[in-house]
Structures are given as structure tokens and as C-alpha cells.
Amino acid sequence: MRIEDLTLDEKLTLLCGRDNWTTETCGGKVPEVRVSDGPHGLRCVVSVENGREITADATAMPSLSVVANGWNKRAAYEQGGTIADDCVDHNVDVLLAPGVNIKKTPLCGRNFEYFSEDPYLAGTLAGQYIEGVQSRGVGACLKHFCANNVESDRSWQSSEVDERTLNEIYLKPFEIALGAKPWTVMCAYNPINGVYASENKKLLTHVLRDKFGFDGLVMSDWWAVHNGYKAVRAGLNLRMPHDDENFAVLKEAYEKGYLTDEQINESVSRVLALAEKADRSEKSGKTSKEQRHLNAVKIAEEGIVLLKNEGGILPAAGKKIAVSGVFAGAPAIGGGGSSTVQTAYKIPHLADAISSITGEKVERSMGVCENVFVTAKLAYSQAYNADLCVVVVGDGTAKVSEGCDRDTLKLRPEQENFIIELSKYNKNIVVVIESGSAVDVSAFEPYAKAIIFAGFAGEGVNEALARIITGRVCPSGKLAETFPYALEDTYMGNYTGDGLTVDYGEGVFVGYRYYERYGIAVRYPFGFGLSYAKFEYSDLKIEKTGDTDFVVFYTVKNVSKVDGKEVSQVYVRDIIAMVARPVKELKGYSKDLIKAGEEKRVSVKLDFSSFAYYSVSLDKWLVENGDFEILVGSSSRDVKLSGKVRIELPDDEQPSQI
Ligand code: BGC
């Protein structure tokens, strides 16, 4: 379809969706594009009953926060590919995922849908996810562009963020993930520095198009458009979902001269290009339904994090196990909102999943649900008669959901108390936490011998947990977000905006960058996670391959008797700079399977972006000459090896120097 063959009215209708999930076809002239959520599995609406959307069954994959805790690029790719296979089955052209917004506060109700507090980790994993989705001929949608970091009053509160922070922290994951060429980008709800994301020309056109070179389609978040014609002028191509009034708004704006033919054509051509791409694309699924479930289990295994393991109580091989907690039977597989997936898979009770591996009977009790004791007495007696008791607690969708933020990092007092009570009957308590973001474990940590953070790990969670608890799988997840001791230790505290604005005064010091700068102790650092294996790092060598290019080599040896995967992390520190820079920043990582007693030579590449900061004075990324420290660690706070490199760019390209 050529743009010249469309009338003005047809063009304007193309700029609004036809309904909630499809684009306009102009009476069949233009191929329809069907879009569907979301990041953790397909949520394809098949009918609406009594105002409630009924969605097709699909594989409920782990949430993106769990994928991020996996630090495994291949797993992120498979997550995208597996969900896209469900899209192929339901003829969905564009999957509305992934989201790469930064976890600025652990309270954000949507953190489970996002990857990390670190832009590099978020951007690189999102890029893999996008490649996975698009490898099946289905388009991805990178969202929510940008600076949507709390859910409270998300359509109104302006994110007040300075230029350097915007570039280094909040735009960066988008910039990196755009390298994978997603078909579409979705704008956020919120204003940024006073202008709605949907009407923000600087972001939608100057940054996204001109600077980042994005050539796909920009759609709105659902109902995020406040003024239809201002959005088109700013560079928004498709308003979603259909809104009866939008056509008239656009037409009137055109007649009054507020919208030009050129502006309309620009957006129409993007819609046409997407429609043609979707139409031409050969969709091909690569996995069977069974394989999709197995992928859900595998990716959950990668991202489940062992936080505490006193006396090596886990793995629990050969021990008599009791399992308690309502979540053990009805796990929190995802959070609430648009990412909810309807799975037909009959998730086994954790007790059954364990027993199908060990062949031993595993007692079970409900014990506690979110906020009330149920069969606690039975739980105590089963715990008393077992060697070890696993108790599953966490947050359900009522507490963790799109559209609202949490008000505490703590679990419900009933859950905390239950763990403490249970420990009176059995000292070997293993706590499994299912939640969307960091949890303050202080109340029950002393009473737990082991703590496992499962996050919202999808329909495969219990198989994955059972394999980790019994030692079939060696845990290898590491936290993609810091767990502070308490909410008060975070920059934001209990603040999620004041109704007018959201403060970004911590600047680039978000997540571990914040705690490290101000010397704040944390419960579990960024990048932390235990293993049943033990790794040693040695032989750091850094090879210079260009002015700002290096390859970092080091050896990781598995000095235990257990095969395991280790996530090694490479951080860069600008030793002396003209501006305030974080103590260190993640610039590379590698997850490697290393067999017991074996070693692996790991290599990680660094380039200009590993050393640069965004100079507001020069309006560009800048690497300052001087020495940089290269830190290789098993977490952000456990640096194993360090070395230095010197960067000497031509003097006339450097601004003021020390
Ligand atoms: C969410 C988007 C989602 C859209 C469609 C919005 O509420 O913010 O992430 O894709 O709904 O369901």
C-alpha cells in the first residue's frame, strides 16, 4: 500500500488503533497488526465477558526480574523466543515487551516486569530477549520510554530528571536494547520534566530517532495520549487503544493548521511499514508446548537466587523434608496487571515436585497464606518430625501489581511470625520468597538457615525449586538489584512522588551506585548469589585493542566437587574525574558452566561506552584521559581481581583536564 493511495481520512484513522489490540485496516487496504502483552508470557485477549478480558492459555514464563537474576544472555533470548512461539500460535504480530525501566526504588509495583537497577545489565538482556522474539518473525516492543520508575499516579507525576542522569541511567538501557532493532517502541505514561512522554518531541524524535537511529514504529502506552495532535507532532505514530474522539481531534487540528501533511505522513508511513513487515514476516514457532514449559523451568532455575545457606544446609539430599506455606501449592508465578498470564499448566505442589525427585514422602501443610495462619499446628508438628522444613512465603498480586507501588519491603507480619514460630519446632528452616522486588528479611533472617529468593518465577517455579533444594541443580542466580537492610536505607525511602513530581535528586547514583557512594551497608549486594560450588578467580590480564578498547581475561576455577555456573562481573572505576562518578559501574559479565575441579578462561570486552560519562557541558559522551580501574568480582561488593588501564586520547579532543 502506497501512502499516496490513502485519503486524508484514511490516514488519520490509521493513526489510531482499531480496537484494543489491532490496528486499523482502512477497509482491508492495509494489513492488520495484532499486538498482545507481555513480558512473561502471551496475554492474548480472545473475548470479553462482563467487561472482563478472557485470555488464551499460554506458557507462564519467569518474570523479567527473574530472567535478570539469571544474568544469562542465552536464557533471555530463549525467554523471548518461547513467548514468541505462543504468539505464532495465536497469530500475534507484535509482543508488547520487554520493559527496561530502571529499578529506582524497590517499592515500584512494576519492578518484577523490569530487569535491573543497572542500565547495562537491563539493556544487554533486553537486547537478547528482543532477538529471541524476533527470531520467530514476531516483532518486539521496547517499553516504557522513558523514566517511568514508580507506578503511583503514573500518568500525572512528572519525572524530574537531569540531563546527565537521563542519559546515563534511564535512556541507556533503551539505547543498548535498540541495538537489537525492535520493531516498535512504546512511550511511557508519565511526563518527563513537565512534558508527557507521548508528547515529548525531544525524547520521541530528537533522542529516539535522531540520536539512537530508531526506524520502527512508536506507539503509545494504553491511554497514555493526552492530546492526539500534539502526540503526532512530537513523533508518536500510533495511539493505542482505539479512542472514538481521536479522529475528530486530528482532523480538526489538520484543518486549523496545527498538523501538517508532512507530520501526518511521517506517522502513517511508520504504520504502513509495520503493517507490511508483519504481513510479510514468516512466523515460525520453534518449540512444542512441552518444550515451552521446560524452558520456563530452565530459565527459572537460572534466576532463582540462594541468599543464605548456613552450614551448607542445602542441598537437602537424603533429608526428611516438610513443606509449608500456601504459596508452596499456589505459587506467586507473576505479579498483577497487564503482564498476567493465564496458564493451563497444573503446577505441582512443591512437596510433590521434591518427592518426585527424591522418591521420599514429603509432608505438606498450608501453614500461612499471605496474611493469616492456616493449619499452623499441623505445620509445626510436621516440621518437628522432619529434618528440614521449607516454608514458602511472599507477595501476591494484590500487593505487587502494575498501577500501584508497595508501601513496605517487609513481608506481612503473619508470614514473618510464622517463620519465627516454625523455627521453634525445627531449627533447619529454609525460607523461599516469592516477590516482585527486594524484600527486607530482617525480621526472620536469624531464624532461617537458608533463604532462597525465587521472585515471580512462572509456572516452572516448583520444579525449579525442587531441583535446587535437592541439589539436582546448583543455584546460579545473582541479584540484579540490591536488597537493602531496610526501606529507610534507600534514597527514596517511602516516597514515590508527591502527586506533582517524582524527584530524581540522587542523580546517577541509583541502586548500588547510591549505596556505594554513601557507604551504606546492604543486606545482599547487587550481583550477589550463593552456589553449592566454590569458585576461585585468578590471572587477570588486560589487553589493549584500540584507543578505548580492551579485552579483560581472567580464570575462574571451580574448586568444589559440584558442577556449577558462575556469574563473573566486570566493573570499571574512573579513578579521578572532573565530574562525580560512581565508585564503580558494571560494564561486562559472563555466566559460565564450570565442572567440578575445572577452570575456564573468561574474556570480556570493554569499549568507549565502558569508560564514558555523559557530559552536559559538551552535550555528548566523553571519556576523560587517565587511569581506570578494572574490577572483576563475584558480586559488586566482592571484588576478586583488579587491574588498571590508561586511556590517552588526543589532547585536543579533551576538554578541561585535571
Ligand atoms: C501497560 C503496558 C501494556 C498495555 C497493554 C498498559 O497498562 O503499561 O505495559 O502493554 O497496558 O496492556
Q: How confident is the model at residue 437 (pLDDT cuts 50, 70, 90)?
A: very high
Q: In this structure, which residue's CA is closest to atom 6 in ligand 1?
A: 222
Determine the distance separating the centroid of ligand 1 and the alpha carbon of 330, expressed in angstroms.
Answer: 25
Determine the distance separating the centroid of ligand 1 and the alpha carbon of 338, expressed in angstroms.
Answer: 5
Greater confidence, 319 or 652? 319
Greater confidence, 655 or 579? 579
What is the C-alpha to C-alpha distance for residues 186 and 460, in angstroms, rounded to an integer? 29
SS (H, E, C) 48-67: EECCEEEECCCCCCCCHHHH
Say how far residue 169 (Cα) sits from the centre of its chain: 14
30 Cβ contact partners less than 8 Å away, ≥ 6 residues apart:
1, 14, 23, 24, 271, 272, 275
Q: How confident is the model at residue 652 (pLDDT cuts 50, 70, 90)?
A: confident
3-state DSSP assignment of residue 14: helix
Report the Cα–Cα distance between both ends of the chain, in Å, rounded: 59
Please say whether the beta carbons of 586 and 118 come within 8 A. Answer: yes
The radius of gyration of the chain's CA atoms, rounded to the nearest angstrom, is 25
Average the pLDDT over 43-72 and give the result.
Answer: 96
What is the CA angle 471-475-477, rounded to 5? Answer: 165
Mark out the alpha helices in 392-482 (DSSP H runs).
413-422, 461-469
C-alpha distances in Å from residue 451, one per residue of 327, 385, 447? 15, 21, 10
* CB burial string 319-352: b at 16+ within 10 A, e below: bbbbbbbbbbbebbbbbbbbbbbbbebebebbbb
pLDDT for position 326: 97
Average the pLDDT over 478-497 and give the result.
Answer: 97
Please say whether the beta carbons of 221 and 187 come within 8 A. Answer: yes
Q: What percent of the chain has pLDDT over 90?
A: 97
**Conformational region of residue 56, where left means phi above 0, alpha means psi within -120 to 50, and beta covers everything else:** beta
Determine the distance separating the centroid of ligand 1 and the alpha carbon of 430, expressed in angstroms.
Answer: 36
Mean pLDDT for all residues in the chain: 97
Determine the distance separating the centroid of ligand 1 and the alpha carbon of 189, expressed in angstroms.
Answer: 10
Indicate if the pLDDT at residue 317 is higher than 90: no
3-state DSSP assignment of residue 472: coil
C-alpha distances in Å from residue 69, one per residue of 170, 203, 389? 20, 29, 25
Determine the distance separating the centroid of ligand 1 and the alpha carbon of 515, expressed in angstroms.
Answer: 32
What is the C-alpha to C-alpha distance for residues 185 and 40, in angstroms, rounded to an integer? 18
Nearest to 133 by CA among 281, 250, 338: 281
CA 354, 356, 360, 362 dihedral sign is: positive
Q: How many CB atoms lie within 10 A of CB 284?
A: 12
C-alpha cell at 557: 576455577
3-state DSSP assignment of residue 382: helix
Average the pLDDT over 400-406 and give the result.
Answer: 93
pLDDT for position 419: 98
Indicate if the pLDDT at residue 278 is higher than 80: yes
- Tens digit of pLDDT for each residue in 16-30? 999 999 999 999 999
Indicate if the pLDDT at residue 657 is higher than 90: no
Tell me the residue ranges of DSSP E strands in 395-462: 429-434, 450-453
Determine the distance separating the centroid of ligand 1 and the alpha carbon of 222, expressed in angstroms.
Answer: 6
Q: Mutation test of ligand 1: which of 20, 21, 22, 37 has the most ligand atoms closer than 8 Å to its C-beta? A: 37
What is the CA angle 88-90-91, rounded to 5? Answer: 65
C-alpha cell at 596: 567440578
Residue with cell 505514530: 237
In terms of Cβ atoms closer than 10 Å to its own Cβ (0-12, 13-18, 19+), residue 643 is: middle
Determine the distance separating the centroid of ligand 1 and the alpha carbon of 110, expressed in angstroms.
Answer: 11
Could you write out the DSSP letters of every residue in 630-657? EEEEEETTEEEEEEEEEE---GGG--S-
pTM score over 0.95: yes
C-alpha cell at 482: 540490591
What is the C-alpha to C-alpha distance for residues 438 and 406, in angstroms, rounded to an integer? 11
Mark out the alpha helices in 241-325 (DSSP H runs).
246-255, 261-280, 289-303
What is the C-alpha to C-alpha distance for residues 355 and 469, in angstroms, rounded to an integer? 11
**Conformational region of residue 579, where left means phi above 0, alpha means psi within -120 to 50, and beta covers everything else:** beta
- Element containing residue 81 per DSSP (H, E): helix 73-89
What is the C-alpha to C-alpha distance for residues 244 and 251, in angstroms, rounded to an integer? 13
What is the C-alpha to C-alpha distance for residues 11 and 83, in angstroms, rounded to an integer? 32
Residue with cell 474522539: 245
- Atom number, ligand 1, closest to the C-alpha of residue 99: 9
Q: In this structure, which residue's CA is closest to atom 2 in ligand 1?
A: 221
**Conformational region of residue 147, where left means phi above 0, alpha means psi within -120 to 50, and beta covers everything else:** left
Peptide bond connecting 108 to the previous residue in cis, omega within 30 degrees of 0: no
- Atom number, ligand 1, closest to the C-alpha of residue 144: 9
What is the C-alpha to C-alpha distance for residues 120 and 62, in angstroms, rounded to an integer? 21
Q: Mutation test of ligand 1: which of 43, 221, 240 has the most ligand atoms closer than 8 Å to its C-beta? A: 221
Please say whether the beta carbons of 515 and 489 come within 8 A. Answer: yes
Q: Which residues pair with 564 in a beta bridge?
A: 594
What is the C-alpha to C-alpha distance for residues 427 and 423, in angstroms, rounded to an integer? 5
Average the pLDDT over 144-148 and give the result.
Answer: 98
Write out the catalytic residue numbers. Answer: 221
What is the C-alpha to C-alpha distance for residues 379 and 365, in angstroms, rounded to an integer? 5
Residues with CB under 6 A from ligand 1: 37-38, 96, 143, 221-222, 338
Mark out the alpha helices in 470-582 (DSSP H runs).
512-517
- Tens digit of pLDDT for each residue in 240-270? 999 989 999 999 999 999 999 999 999 999 9
Counting Cα atoms < 13 Å in the Cβ hemisphere of 398 gives 6
Q: What percent of the chain has pLDDT over 70?
A: 100
Residue with cell 544474568: 71
Q: How confident is the model at residue 656 (pLDDT cuts 50, 70, 90)?
A: confident
- Tens digit of pLDDT for each residue in 591-618? 999 999 999 999 999 999 999 999 999 9
Q: In this structure, which residue's CA is closest to atom 8 in ligand 1?
A: 221
Indicate if the pLDDT at residue 658 is higher than 80: no
pLDDT for position 238: 98
What is the C-alpha to C-alpha distance for residues 147 and 621, in angstroms, rounded to an integer? 20
Say how far residue 42 (Cα) sits from the centre of its chain: 16
Determine the distance separating the centroid of ligand 1 and the alpha carbon of 135, expressed in angstroms.
Answer: 23
Indicate if the pLDDT at residue 548 is higher than 90: yes
Indicate if the pLDDT at residue 398 is higher than 80: no
**What one-character DSSP code corresponds to residue 446?**
G
Residue with cell 462482563: 50
Q: What is the largest CA-CA distance in the chain?
A: 80
Peptide bond connecting 182 to the previous residue in cis, omega within 30 degrees of 0: no
Q: In this structure, which residue's CA is closest to atom 11 in ligand 1?
A: 222
pLDDT for position 224: 98
C-alpha distances in Å from residue 641, one per residue of 72, 273, 513? 22, 49, 20
Q: In this structure, which residue's CA is closest to atom 12 in ligand 1?
A: 338
pLDDT for position 44: 96
Nearest to 575 by CA among 629, 631, 615, 645: 629
Q: How confident is the model at residue 358 (pLDDT cuts 50, 70, 90)?
A: very high
Determine the distance separating the centroid of ligand 1 and the alpha carbon of 129, expressed in angstroms.
Answer: 18
What is the C-alpha to C-alpha distance for residues 437 and 445, in angstroms, rounded to an integer? 17
- Tens digit of pLDDT for each residue in 290-313? 999 999 999 999 999 999 999 999
Q: Which residues pair with 141 in a beta bridge?
A: 184
Indicate if the pLDDT at residue 647 is higher than 80: yes
Indicate if the pLDDT at residue 646 is higher than 80: yes
- Tell me how long the chain is: 658
pLDDT for position 653: 85
pLDDT for position 515: 98
CA 476, 568, 523, 489 dihedral sign is: negative
C-alpha cell at 481: 538489584
Q: How confident is the model at residue 210 (pLDDT cuts 50, 70, 90)?
A: very high
